Chain A
């Protein structure tokens, strides 16, 4: 499946962080359109300035089955505010020059409707690094494998503690950029502890040939980030960032809170430097 040699923007960033700073990356999720489209672009800028290394930009969807309540409510608000798929591409365009690769996280029907090749073409033209696809497995991704090769995009598929060795192998072979290891069986959200099966899953995914494995689901606190950064190539945080915006009284206070949460997590990731 790796017959086409395509350079990975995200993989290059992860390699550079490891080589130059000896550490894992902080990968930050925020949805486009929350609280508004310009507000969300401003929030991602804030997050990058405060220490996020790779951005996971979420496109709101009516039926987000992999997301817990915090993200569900934020994307529900964004959709009621009228956010469109093309707003995501606009946001990518405005955010792609800031040093952090921008991966779009999207449920698959939105890409299908846009047209898989057309979406890949427009995402690449906007400066996007690739896609994270929570409800697309490589078995169903023929068009996307082709389009991402043609347009030089990363494709981040997920693995879970329930993945068999055979599925780890096929998912790793289909992925580019990194493999997204779900720390626990569940959906996005803040949890008291990071799943104990995460470290083993990272080891198994590496053994299956993955050059980069990042861990997400349930990571929200600096000490959790430090712990995960000790064994993974990246620490993916979503709900904790969204909550900073949701809980704030005003948009400006939201950005301040977001910067503080980001700085704490960035310290956590740096604390595990080796």
Chain B
């Protein structure tokens, strides 16, 4: 047994400087910042001020907690999955944090409700958002309907085709969905278009950014709206087994669900943190979204972080079977945790993720989002080394979303549609 993980001198220095869990922007080590047009600075300052005012206003906290209790369905359950764990490794216990059971089907609603309440406080009437798979767009359209806000969602044309059902969901909820038909026509280009809309309409419009990327204060604020995930899971595990987990695993696209579950454990160096990126079809051929394995520090969409870029600094298109992980950059706090050695980031291939997807369906009766299946596949990878950590290792995995939206992709992947079914479609 090797026991506790090593703590590097850089991590020791960071921990000594203050709790990691409450670290504030604009910088996370050498990452983060505000690389945006001057036109947006006044709005970012206003948001930063309003956000910190709200944090100290008990009425804001009460209202958000009430919405989470009565609308989101929090606390989300913690489920032990022994039949799945048997595939991870003998003697390993696996617990899933069930963000898939939230209203709208993923963790995204945590951040969206928080920001929507801020929008009301700022007196703005319109929100815009970007979306890849459609989960954040659906969550934003939902909050906009609930709080009577005008809502425009930008989505790459390619993604509107892949996720037609989510386009219909957003429109049912009253949102305008704008397909973006320039560049790679995916999430990255949807963010560009949302930023252009924001520059033009910033005085009346809030950009409801969906992950822990972007200019300050977004990475810090979105993390804070999601940290409830880890706080609940920590308390639930202590209640259930009387100790902290050996490791926490989450998938990392922009990185919001991972920051949400990591946050409550950042200052416990005995808890190993693992982020699983989209390894796609393989790192060697470039068809992936593994920023920490195949990227270098650079600036995209307002923040300095790890980035898939070519030798000129042009953004390189990413690939993943899961639209939600298909993004060439990653939140700056993850870049910092990576460099400090506080969290470890590893690629999971499309094949590994889809295998784990199927195992969870068949062993536990839970259909996960393909994004979350990357975290499950990560747990399977960890199974091999987990027995070196303790006699009965405990893995906490964030099941960030449910797989309803992915049924068509999975059915095609596994060849589940017979000819007749295809005809009916």
Contact = CB atoms under 8 A, between A and B. Distances in A.
A162 B299 contact: no
B183 A62 contact: yes
Contacts of A135: 35-37, 299, 302
Contact of A171 (B38, B42, B192, B312): B38
Contacts of B195: 65
Contact of A137 (B41, B192, B309): B41
B200 interface: yes
A182 B39 contact: yes
A135 B215 CA distance: 11
B42 A85 contact: no
Most chain B CB within a 10 A radius of its CB, from A135, A158, A159: A135
B34 interface: yes
A113 B43 contact: no
Interface in A90-110: 108-110
B298 A112 contact: yes
A66 interface: yes
Contact of A187 (B34, B200, B298, B307): B200
Nearest to B195: A65
Contacts of B182: 69, 72-73, 76
Contacts of A84: 312
Interface size class on chain A is 35 or more
A114 B196 contact: no
A69 B202 CA distance: 19
B42 A162 contact: yes
Contacts of A160: 37-39
B39 A63 contact: no
A69 B181 CA distance: 11
B311 A164 contact: no
A173 B64 CA distance: 43
A159 B313 CA distance: 26
A63 B36 CA distance: 12
B289 to A, nearest CB: 15
The interface residues of chain B, by DSSP majority, are classed as: mixed
Contacts of A63: 183, 188-189, 192, 300-301, 315
A85 B200 contact: no
A109 B202 contact: no
Contacts of B189: 63
Contact of B42 (A73, A136, A164, A184): A164
Contacts of A11: none
B41 A186 contact: no
B200 A185 contact: yes
Contacts of B302: 135
Contacts of A164: 42, 45
A155 B220 CA distance: 31
Nearest to B182: A72
Contacts of A159: 38
B43 to A, nearest CB: 7
A157 B38 CA distance: 8
A187 B199 contact: yes
A68 B36 CA distance: 16
Interface string B97-109: 0000000000000
B33 interface: yes
Given A62-B183, A63-B301, A137-B34, A185 B39 contact: yes
Most chain A CB within a 10 A radius of its CB, from B41, B188, B312: B312
A61 B300 CA distance: 11
B311 A140 contact: no
A268 B309 CA distance: 42
Which 4 pairs between the two chains have the least Cβ-Cβ distance?
A113-B313, A160-B39, A186-B200, A162-B42
Given A85-B313, A135-B299, A167-B42, 10 more contacts: A65-B36, A65-B196, A76-B183, A112-B298, A137-B41, A160-B38, A162-B202, A167-B38, A184-B200, A187-B200
Interface of A: 61-66, 68-69, 72-73, 76, 79, 84-85, 108-114, 134-137, 139-140, 157-164, 167, 171, 182, 184-187
27 contacts: A63-B183, A63-B301, A63-B315, A65-B37, A76-B182, A108-B35, A109-B309, A109-B315, A110-B312, A112-B298, A112-B313, A113-B298, A113-B311, A113-B312, A114-B313, A139-B34, A158-B39, A159-B38, A162-B41, A164-B42, A182-B38, A182-B39, A185-B199, A185-B200, A186-B196, A186-B199, A187-B196
